[in-house]
Amino acid sequence: MKLAVVGSGHVGLVAGACFAELGHEVILVDNDPARVTALQRGEAPIHEQFLPELLERHRHTRLSFTGDLAAAVQASRVIFIAVGTPPAEDGAADLSYVESVARGIAGSIHSYKVVVEKSTVPVYTSNWIRTIMLRNGAPPELFDVASNPEFLREGSAVADFLFPDRIVIGADTVRCATVLRDCYLPLAGGSYYLCPGAIPTPDQAQVPPPLIETTAKSSELIKHASNAFLAMKISYINAVASICESVGANVEQVVRGIGSDSRIGPRFLRPGIGYGGSCFPKDLTAFRAVARESGCDFRLLDEVIRINEEQRQRFLGKVRKALWILKGKRLAVLGLAFKGGTDDVRESPALAIVQALLREGCEIAAYDPAAASRAAEIITDQRLTFAKSAYGAAEQADALLILTDWEEFAELDLSRLHTALRYPIVIDGRNLYDPEKMAENGLVYLSMGRPDAIPEKRTDLNLKAA
């Protein structure tokens, strides 16, 4: 099938490359000429596992790039809208880019097309896209508007697309639903998984995935409701971790007890410094705005957001607890991206903590395997320097802070780390290490929701002070 994907951001680029992997002919449209040229050269603008391989595999055959929306629409049967929907001042999604694309599509329709929301949008967006297209001259019998939300995690987006938990198709006509089913037939029918060149199957992947058909409005709500629920699980376990610290319990033991319940499950029950990125913060505020516009007081979402913001302050409190005065301290920071496996620093709790520490007068040496250059664009304070390794960042630091869950941060040489640090203090916002093991290696170790670990011979600490 011939498809067009409008927008080459995280969602659009991954979707375009993966649809090409499934055998479709894909035209990826972007209004940034420099970005289009870079993609034509095979340059991946985002850090995402398997994406460079898919671009190299398909860009000269089934995947092309252009800035000509009209030509792409005319050449394609299905047009996926994957442009940005940033938050407005009131928290609602800014849909001006979606509206602009809808106007552009309307003027280029000469045969039946399916126009698909791939961006995360509030309920009723499909109705508005249809209205805008009709106002701009699109014949009503020549198009349908559908919703097909993405459920991609940054860092594993390609695997999430090709091995999804579910495929959701929101269509209000049989003709539209049939076309969208055909788009995903290689996944829902299982044929892709028999191909010798398929990417490796992730652990616990359901093959083939279920395909869920709904109305467009239900599909739009599924995306926002899903992300809000996952964010709620994160904030819930962070609140539980705070209680664990107060009573001397171990949150990881509590998580095992909670997560073993099949009705709850262990996923997203990982205490830390809070969620971030381009999805959860934006989608929660947008979902809250939708609820308010609908006359619903969804106060639970307010509390989820409040707990998430409070978690960063709790971590800063741990740094003060270990070091007392922060002004003039040299700190090593591991991780700047909002999570491991990506270079995305949007709404990164790690970056927010770094900025707060700089305001306190700290000097920071930071290391991130992928996100340093993006962080440098946001924070220009000269007291923030970027190291080439975790050990380089730790050199003569008063403490080491772990802020992102990169795999390599969980496999450090603890003896070498101990030698590099000025004081052997590690404050772990991602609970990557076993406290007893850290103490055995002579490291003072503070983590989230677990008792502090202190080597037996250390008497120079007063960790009871807040």
Catalytic residue numbers read 279
N residues, the chain: 466
251 contacts: CB under 8 Å, gap ≥ 6: 237, 240, 241, 244, 271, 448, 449, 450
Using DSSP, state whether 262 is helix, strand or coil. Answer: coil
Residue 88 to residue 134: CA distance in whole angstroms: 26
Using DSSP, state whether 317 is helix, strand or coil. Answer: helix
**For 237-383, where are the E strands, in sequence order?**
330-334, 363-367
Q: Cβ of 67: how many Cβ atoms within 10 Å? A: 14
Residue 327, both tokens = 């002004």
| Cβ atoms 444, 459 nearer than 8 A | no
Residue 36 to residue 67: CA distance in whole angstroms: 7
Q: Side chain identity at 280, as an amino acid letter?
A: F
Q: Cβ of 253: how many Cβ atoms within 10 Å? A: 12
Residue 19 to residue 194: CA distance in whole angstroms: 16
Report CA torsion sign: 373, 377, 382, 384: negative
Tokens 């170790």: give the residue: 445
| Cβ atoms 198, 175 nearer than 8 A | no
Residue 28 to residue 12: CA distance in whole angstroms: 8
Q: Side chain identity at 116, as an amino acid letter?
A: V
Q: For residue 97, which phi and psi values (nearest 5 degrees)?
A: -70, -40
| Cβ atoms 219, 268 nearer than 8 A | no
Q: Which residues of 38-55 are buried (b: 16+ CB within 10 A; e: fewer)?
A: bbeeeebebbbebbeebb
| Cβ atoms 276, 339 nearer than 8 A | yes
Per residue, the 3-state secondary structure of 158-189, as one string, reads: HHHHHCCCCEEEECCCHHHHHHHHHHCHHHHC
| Cβ atoms 381, 402 nearer than 8 A | no
Instruction: Return the DSSP state at 210.
Output: P
CA distances from 4 to 66, 230, 262 (A): 10, 30, 40
How do strand 444-446 and strand 425-428 relate by DSSP bridges? parallel
